[in-house]
Chains A and B, each alone.
Chain A
Amino acid sequence: MSGITIRNIRKSFGATRVLHDVSLSIADGEFLTLLGPSGCGKSTLLRILAGLEVQDTGSIEIGGRVVDGVRPKRRDVAMVFQSYALYPHMSVAANIALPLRMRRLSRAQRLPLIGRWLPGSGPVISGIEMEVSRTAEALGIAHLLNRKPGQLSGGQRQRVAVGRAMVRHPAVFLMDEPLSNLDAKLRVQMRTEIKDLHRRLGVTFVYVTHDQAEAMTLSDRVVVMRDGEMLQVAPPQEIYADPNDIRVAEFLGSPKINMVDATMREPGLVDLAGSALSVACEIAPGSKFTVGIRPEAFQFAEHSGPGVITGSVRMVEHMGSDLFVYFDPSGLEQPLIARLSAERTHIVAGQTLHVSVRSDQLLVFDRDGRRVRARDVSSAHSSTPAREWAR
């Protein structure tokens, strides 16, 4: 049992507040991702979990045990670092063996040369060697055990770092942007391997990244962080389709979500990009707000009409199965991006484009950036897992 409970964590570095009152529960065996741009406090939170940083206030529980003030090595957590943090003067085998040696051998038994011949150390050392080679085999690095980290490629170093973390069977795996130093192809491959590792080990993973693709593909739940706050905690598909905050909506999705300033004309009808669209929100007529439209929410329309946005096409990007169409509706300074199927439509720059959008795919945000949910939707989603977990 190794769930994690984070209660009211605050942390400042000097005058800079890095974490504002963060609370979160992570279930045993869950894969949770902390997602956010650099400087949002996600790495600091991870380091506080590991015990490498000390929170100003608040408390951390791992596996039902309060670990505040407990040294990192006694927390039963392992961490994989962005820079891998391998010991360059030790062989791969020695790197992976170190956590086991520190735990299973006495101070005298760890002495170089003579330690091996002290009573009782022989079986322990051969046991460690066996586990190291088993771990290396599982990660496909058995042939590298005698090399130094400097002689390995990025992907191999990554595996050694994972091996060093998993060899002692920790209750919690912490990963701090482990893939960001790898090239794009290797990153995708390692992503599936990490997912696989999580499935095999079945322990709790807390994964920090700024890469939304990693967050979306790996996680059971994603925490979107910004400026030391948790904006939303939810499963990936919900984070994407039903964001709580304008910053969550903007951070996720590629190409980026279209954000359009709009005015409520009459209840249920908004002026948007030169046409009137219906929305199911209770907003006073005349008030201004922002509407987010995902590029794929647009649908090709043959003619203009009610609920259809019209604009001239500025640029078309062919992405194979899809087209990214940049078009300028009248009355907007920024172009909108639509993601349209490449099969059904033939669009060239300069032509006029009509697109329709379903009202339930308009994401409405108030002036403070908070989501205004449609009446029927808000009741259905009032008890989202996000709120349950973010106690």
Chain B
Amino acid sequence: MSAIRLSPAAAILRHGVLVLTSAFILVPFVWMVSLSLKSPGEIFRATFSVLPAQFYGVDNYAKAITSVPLPRYMGNGLLVCALILAAQILVCAPAAYALAKLKFWGRDFIFAMVLVGLLLPHQVLSLPLFILCYKLDILNTYLALVIPYVVSPFGIFLFRQFFKKIPNDIVHAARLDGLCELAIVWKIMVPMALPAVIAFSIFSVVAHWNDLFWPLIAVRDGNLMPAPLGIMAFKNEEAGNDYGPLMAASTLVVAPLLIAFLAAQKWFVEGMTGGSVK
């Protein structure tokens, strides 16, 4: 971003630090991919090499896909993530608009409650949520995986901060142009806050694709399990020491996120910088 050119020494130092930290983060992933390509014997060998001595990838990946219904798990994850994200945006945008642009009695109190909600870890609520789902009789359904996440304090907070930056005159102009309040939310505010919507979507999808804790509580039916839970079922089934197929399954689960993120990255950065008006 900055146009300042660094001296060679500083550039080397900076890149060295960057390479080191990214290596630190990437090593587990590289290891995972590497293990997913190795034979069971090679995995427990004392020496370590990134590339397998004997390519065992086909067997591992075949086993990962066939011995447990991994595609089904990933399909479940996709469905749940999509439902959660859609519901969250549907709820958060109007709520955030009300908190950012409308004046009503108790608004600041409600916003304070949103902030409290932001501070609470979701796990704290798991017991009440479990009881709620039981009373609603939705345990062991897709609904049980979606309902607890429909209201996202983080989403409300993020959207509210973004909406607050949109000038009031735009809202006024929209009202004069004949838009009702909901139309203002969907036609004006959300499109203008697209960077926030994208950022929130990434956070939301990553969090719920990877979520293990709540699905573990909410569903028992193998047909409903999302991917991380599916991997666990797979591991139990294999008595825990068949690491090759396990790592292959993990790689398959992480891959969609990685691909989606890389594909969206350019657009994401553009959305963050290019959308600015005035």
Do they bind each other?
yes
Q: Beta-carbon contacts of A65-90 to B below 8 Å, as 1s and 0s?
A: 00000011100011101110111110
Q: Beta-carbon contacts of A42-79 to B below 8 Å, as 1s and 0s?
A: 00000100111000000000000000000111000111
Residue B46 at the A interface, CB < 8 A? no
What is the distance, in angstroms, from A153's C-beta to the closest C-beta of chain B? 12
Report the bound CA distance from A72 to B98 in whole Å: 18
Residue B188 at the A interface, CB < 8 A? yes
Residue B175 at the A interface, CB < 8 A? yes
- A 134-159 contacts with B by CB, 8 A: 149-150
**CB-CB < 8 A to B179: which residues of A?**
73, 98, 102
Q: Beta-carbon contacts of B167-207 to A below 8 Å, as 1s and 0s?
A: 10110111111110001000010011010000000000000
Q: Beta-carbon contacts of A330-365 to B below 8 Å, as 1s and 0s?
A: 000000000000000000000000000000000000
Q: Is the CB of B170 within 8 A of A85?
A: yes
Report the bound CA distance from A47 to B170 in whole Å: 13
Q: Is the CB of B192 within 8 A of A72?
A: no
Q: Is the CB of A50 within 8 A of B172?
A: yes
Known: A83-B169, A88-B192. A71 touches B277 (CB 8 A): no
Known: A88-B275, A149-B277, A150-B277. A81 touches B178 (CB 8 A): no
**CB-CB < 8 A to A373: which residues of B?**
none
Known: A79-B172, A149-B277, A150-B277. A99 touches B167 (CB 8 A): no
**CB-CB < 8 A to A98: which residues of B?**
177, 179
Known: A73-B178, A102-B178, A150-B277. A79 touches B173 (CB 8 A): yes
Q: Beta-carbon contacts of B150-175 to A below 8 Å, as 1s and 0s?
A: 00000000000000000101101111
Q: Is the CB of B191 within 8 A of A99?
A: no
**CB-CB < 8 A to A318: which residues of B?**
none
A103 contacts which of B167, B172, B178, B276 (Cβ < 8 Å)?
B178
| Chain B residue at smallest Cβ distance from A83 | B169
What is the distance, in angstroms, from A306's C-beta to the closest C-beta of chain B? 58
**CB-CB < 8 A to A82: which residues of B?**
169
**CB-CB < 8 A to B275: which residues of A?**
88-89
**CB-CB < 8 A to B194: which residues of A?**
89
Report the bound CA distance from A260 to B174 in whole Å: 50
**CB-CB < 8 A to B278: which residues of A?**
83
Report the bound CA distance from A164 to B177 in whole Å: 9
Report the bound CA distance from A150 to B191 in whole Å: 15
Known: A149-B277, A150-B277. A87 touches B170 (CB 8 A): yes
**CB-CB < 8 A to A102: which residues of B?**
177-179, 183
**CB-CB < 8 A to A164: which residues of B?**
173, 177
Report the bound CA distance from A51 to B178 in whole Å: 12
Q: Is the CB of A85 within 8 A of B167?
A: yes
What is the distance, in angstroms, from B177's C-beta to the closest C-beta of chain A? 4
B191 contacts which of A72, A79, A89, A149 (Cβ < 8 Å)?
A89
Report the bound CA distance from A52 to B192 in whole Å: 21
Q: Is the CB of B169 within 8 A of A81?
A: yes
| Chain B residue at smallest Cβ distance from A80 | B173
Report the bound CA distance from A81 to B169 in whole Å: 7
| Chain A residue at smallest Cβ distance from B274 | A150
Q: Is the CB of B178 within 8 A of A52?
A: no
**CB-CB < 8 A to A99: which residues of B?**
176-178
**CB-CB < 8 A to B167: which residues of A?**
83, 85
Report the bound CA distance from A137 to B276 in whole Å: 28
Q: Is the CB of B277 within 8 A of A88?
A: yes
| Chain B residue at smallest Cβ distance from A90 | B191
**CB-CB < 8 A to A51: which residues of B?**
175
**CB-CB < 8 A to A73: which residues of B?**
175-179
Closest 6 CB pairs of A and B: A102-B178, A85-B169, A88-B277, A85-B173, A73-B178, A99-B177
Contacts A/B (CB < 8 Å), 15 sampled? A50-B172, A50-B176, A51-B175, A52-B172, A52-B175, A72-B176, A73-B176, A73-B177, A77-B176, A83-B167, A85-B167, A102-B177, A102-B183, A150-B276, A164-B177
Known: A47-B172, A77-B176, A87-B173; 11 extra A-B contacts, CB below 8 A, are A50-B172, A73-B178, A79-B176, A81-B172, A81-B173, A85-B167, A87-B174, A87-B188, A88-B192, A102-B177, A103-B178
